[in-house]
Amino acid sequence: MKDSMIDRDLDARPLFPPNIVIQVKALACELPYENGIPLSRFSCTDIAEETMSRGICAQISGSTVWRWLHEDAIKPWQYRSWIFPRDPQFEQKAGRVLDLYHGFWEGKALRKDEFVLSADEKTSIQARRRKHQTRACGPKRPMRVEHEYERMGALNYLAAWDVHQGKIFGHIESKSGIEAFDRLVTDVMDEEPYASAKRVFWIVDNGSSHRGQTSIQRFHEKWPKIVLVHLPVHASWLNQIEIYFSIMQRKVLTPNDFNSLEFLADTIIAFQKRYECTAKPFEWKFTRNDLTRLMNKLSGYSIDLKHAA
């Protein structure tokens, strides 16, 4: 009985020629403001209304639009932020980092006494004391966290991740900057096996505490065996330490409920020690070939933007 009802419903659906389906999908892939529509994103209902407004078809529902878009996983109502790579040497700089992740430098395999560290700062981590005590979960009830809170201050967490050994170093600082970052480097370089290593590669972004040629010279004077390797600008997704930071964010800092900065600092360091007990190197699969394909794709997108302009 149910099957026959479904069959009748399907038979009752209006049939649209393929050219209308194609036009609707093309419309969904447009930005509304490019056509003078005062919307930031399309919904299925918006697309249906615009389809009828343009005279593509006389009548169509939002559910029909959704069904067509679902076939090609087109979701114009969703978005994500990104930063278009603008560094003219993006591929060259990113390629060096990818080589290090896979155990190579300038075409040669790394020696056993050469190490790769990925480092950065997680700045302005707030301690938020909730105005009512957090309640644990229960049957059919999630954890409850009071919405209102008092700000108890903020601190900075500096950390370095040994890419191939799966070892994490980190400490808390009240302020970030050159002196704070140098203390982290000193802590690592004073330990074995880094103290007696032939070379130690430090992968860093372009933050103020380790930016440009000046930082390379400073590092070389203080630690001659360090090779400072800068990521391209806006390429934090290539920095493996960010993976560890994201894990800590999920497991420790969300939700944020800390009565004091001391409690926050102690919790971060305790998590660092706990994490290292079972830590393994991240399975990094993005290679130079993947990078080349990405850059070719983005290059084509740049050409489209120039033509559009």
Q: 126: which strand partners?
A: 154
Element (H, E) at 21: helix 18-28
pLDDT at 309 over 50: no
Q: Is 154 a domain residue?
A: yes
Element (H, E) at 167: strand 167-173
pLDDT at 211 over 90: no
Strand pairing class (114-130; 149-162)? antiparallel
- Report the percent of the chain where pLDDT is more than 90: 81
Contact partners, residue 284, CB within 8 Å, separation at least 6: 101, 102, 163, 240
* Residues 120 and 269 occupy one common structural domain: yes
* Residues 256 and 182 occupy one common structural domain: yes
Yes or no: say if 60 and 48 are a contact pair by the CB < 8 Å rule.
yes
Q: Is 56 a domain residue?
A: yes
Q: Is 6 a domain residue?
A: no
| Residue 234 domain boundaries | 90-283
* Residues 181 and 230 occupy one common structural domain: yes
* Residues 62 and 193 occupy one common structural domain: no
CATH code of 101's domain: 3.30.420.10
Q: Is 120 a domain residue?
A: yes
Taking only the tens place, the pLDDT of each residue in 122-175 is 999 999 999 999 999 999 999 999 999 999 999 999 999 999 999 999 999 999
* Residues 102 and 243 occupy one common structural domain: yes
- Report the percent of the chain where pLDDT is more than 70: 92
* Residues 185 and 62 occupy one common structural domain: no
Q: What is the overall mean pLDDT for the chain?
A: 91
Phi-psi region at 153: left, alpha or beta (left = phi > 0; alpha = psi -120 to 50): left
Report d(CA 250, CA 244) in Å as an integer. Answer: 10
Counting every residue written for the chain, the total comes to: 309
* Residues 54 and 119 occupy one common structural domain: no
Within 10 angstroms of residue 96's Cβ, the number of other Cβ atoms is 19
pLDDT at 308 over 50: no
Identify the CA nearest to 86 among candidates 77, 98, 94. Answer: 94
Report d(CA 286, CA 309) in Å as an integer. Answer: 32
Identify the CA nearest to 212 among candidates 185, 225, 231. Answer: 231
* Total count of domains within the chain: 2
pLDDT at 52: 96
> In a 10 Å sphere around its CB, with 0-12 CB exposed, 13-18 middle and 19+ buried, how is residue 161 labelled?
buried
* Residues 53 and 122 occupy one common structural domain: no
Q: Is 78 a domain residue?
A: no
Confidence of residue 262 (pLDDT cuts 50, 70, 90): very high
Q: Is 198 a domain residue?
A: yes
* Residues 67 and 94 occupy one common structural domain: no
pLDDT at 48 over 80: yes
pLDDT at 236 over 90: no
pLDDT at 153: 96
* Residues 150 and 59 occupy one common structural domain: no
pLDDT at 88: 87
Give how far the C-alpha of residue 109 lies from the chain's centroid of Cα atoms, to the nearest Å. 29
Yes or no: say if 281 and 166 are a contact pair by the CB < 8 Å rule.
yes
Confidence of residue 216 (pLDDT cuts 50, 70, 90): very high
pLDDT at 84: 78
Report d(CA 121, CA 138) in Å as an integer. Answer: 37
Confidence of residue 12 (pLDDT cuts 50, 70, 90): low
Confidence of residue 302 (pLDDT cuts 50, 70, 90): low
Taking only the tens place, the pLDDT of each residue in 85-124 is 888 899 999 999 999 999 999 999 999 999 999 999 999 9
* Residues 40 and 124 occupy one common structural domain: no
Yes or no: say if 220 and 91 are a contact pair by the CB < 8 Å rule.
no
Q: Is 203 a domain residue?
A: yes
Q: Is 227 a domain residue?
A: yes
* Residues 218 and 123 occupy one common structural domain: yes
